[in-house]
Amino acid sequence: MRRLTYLSLAAAAALLAAAAPGTAATSSSASGLDKEYIKTSIEGDRFEIAGGKLALSKSHNAAVRALGARLVKDHSASLSDTLKLAKRFGVEAPKKPSESQQWELSIVGGQSGTAFDHWYSDLETLDHIQDLQDASDEIKDGSNPAVRDDAKTEVPTLRTHLKMSRAALKASG
């Protein structure tokens, strides 16, 4: 769902840019694509924080718990930074994860034991693959330098999260 919205906004931004040459975004404005990236980043940070807390409360697997703790720490810092970008560019900050993310958390949260560990680690692996793609898209197609820089800053952390998610998935059997 987030991917489709992102692609739709990218197409709309491209059409607007083509229709109005010489109106490229300045460092003080953000395109629809940039604003959507900010919005989905906030939703994603809230999703990761909630999921990490869930992992810390439900898992006894050291790799899963380490992943959860790291996600809470890193995504709390990311959320703080992204909320500043939202304020700067007039983006209404979502108060919770997207509906689909909330649904995913409810499904995973209904699991216990090794089933929880496996489902949670698999969800985080897939989510971080998507997050890396979203950041890459913003870096490549975003129009505002500050938002693109934010995405660039996130990539190394997201790669670490993906590596940890894969290790947790492997450890969860």
Q: How confident is the model at residue 171 (pLDDT cuts 50, 70, 90)?
A: very high
Tens of pLDDT, residue by residue over 52-82, are 999 999 999 999 999 999 999 999 999 999 9
Report the alpha-carbon distance of residue 57 to residue 104 in Å, rounded.
Answer: 17
Report the alpha-carbon distance of residue 30 to residue 27 in Å, rounded.
Answer: 8
Q: Is the pLDDT reported for residue 46 higher than 70?
A: yes
Between these two residues, 68 and 17, which has the higher pLDDT value? 68
Q: How confident is the model at residue 173 (pLDDT cuts 50, 70, 90)?
A: confident
Question: Which among 154, 157, 162 is positioned nearest to 135, based on CA atoms?
Answer: 154
Angle 154-160-163 from CA coordinates, rounded to 5°: 140
**pLDDT at residue 28 in the model:** 65
Tens of pLDDT, residue by residue over 93-140, are 999 999 999 999 999 999 999 999 999 999 999 999 999 999 999 999
Q: Both tokens of residue 7?
A: 């692609």
Q: How confident is the model at residue 16 (pLDDT cuts 50, 70, 90)?
A: very low
Question: Which among 121, 102, 105, 119 is positioned nearest to 161, based on CA atoms?
Answer: 121
Mean pLDDT of all residues in 89-96:
96
Mean pLDDT of all residues in 11-33:
54
- What predicted TM-score, i.e. pTM, was given to this entire model? 0.83
Domains of the chain from N-terminus onward: 36-171 (1.20.1260.10)
Task: Quote the distance between the C-alpha of residue 123 and its chain's center.
Answer: 13
Contacts of 36 (CB under 8 A, 6+ apart): 5, 6, 9
**pLDDT at residue 29 in the model:** 87
HEC letters along 73-133:
HHHHHHHHHHHHHHHHHCCCCCCCCCHHHHHHHHHHHCCCHHHHHHHHHHHHHHHHHHHHH
